[in-house]
A = this chain, B = another copy of it.
């Protein structure tokens, strides 16, 4: 018994590795094992003293793990793994298919309530920190507008889309907030803005040697759903530039509440993120919530929870008295 909160990780992609890395920064947390669908002998962790175990053996670790952090994707992994593991473990996940959150919550709540476990779902930055700021914004300033901007950030889906274009050897796509739109919001103008009026799409493309650059640009800019409705920039670069300048999974964005109180007083609240590594930040949020799940379960609060249900003091390793003294 180390006295630490004992963590397991399910799934070892970018997010799982980020969680491993985050646990190393928190002295009150201990990583017991990583569970993977791959052959454990092929999985190399950052810390080779930690066990890699086949996901099929997860239930053998019921008494050794306090909180399981689920690092799979929202499309197919979590809808299965969430309920499967909530039946046996306290869990944390980053389920981020916004439209399906109510259904996912209902399933997780039912399973976790009957297993007596605590499952905090949809944790990260959006959903997660951004959601909290959207909620605080409208609860505190009920007269006003909320704006969410994303970027500057690497968009995985759109990067995949540009890479499928004929003549494209490699490439990435960034989503950027439109500066003019941001400034109007920050000035309290409360403009009506659609997602495409708020964001610019920027592509950095490495063309094949013989490619027709004009055709690539044209194909990207007119691609339905992905680019056609957006202001889109296409920049051609070399493979070396791509590796040197576009390898980070950067992301970010901001939530702005522009409200009015009293006799026409503008009140602007902004929460912003500028992340060198999107998966590592998400992983750091998941890791802090593991602490909260552990404490809530100890207090007998079983079932599914979201960031809206968790007192934020539980995210800290410090005692309530210490938090009041040092941080309030």
Contacts and interface: CB of A to CB of B under 8 A. Distances in A.
Contacts of A206: none
Given A142-B26, A320-B309, A265 B288 contact: no
Please tell me the size bucket of the interface on A.
35 or more
A4 to B, nearest CB: 14
Interface in A134-175: 134-136, 138-143
B268 A274 contact: yes
A95 to B, nearest CB: 10
Nearest to A248: B265
A129 B306 CA distance: 19
Which of A272, A274, A308 is the most central at the interface, judged by chain B CB atoms within 10 Å of its CB? A308
B277 A25 contact: no
B273 A261 contact: no
Contacts of A316: 135, 138-139
A272 B274 contact: no
B321 A102 contact: yes
A298 to B, nearest CB: 16
A321 to B, nearest CB: 7
Contacts of A306: 313, 324, 328
Contacts of A317: 139
Contact of A140 (B265, B274, B288, B324): B288
A283 B134 CA distance: 19
Contact of A324 (B138, B266, B308): B308
Contacts of A49: none
Contacts of A274: 186, 266-268, 270
A312 interface: yes
Contacts of A328: 98, 101, 122, 127, 131, 306-308
Q: Which 6 residue pairs across A and B have the least CB separation, nearest first? A: A308-B313, A265-B276, A261-B280, A265-B277, A139-B315, A268-B274
21 contacts: A26-B142, A98-B328, A101-B325, A102-B324, A122-B328, A129-B136, A129-B269, A134-B327, A139-B288, A140-B288, A265-B276, A265-B280, A266-B276, A267-B274, A267-B277, A267-B280, A267-B281, A269-B273, A270-B270, A270-B271, A312-B312
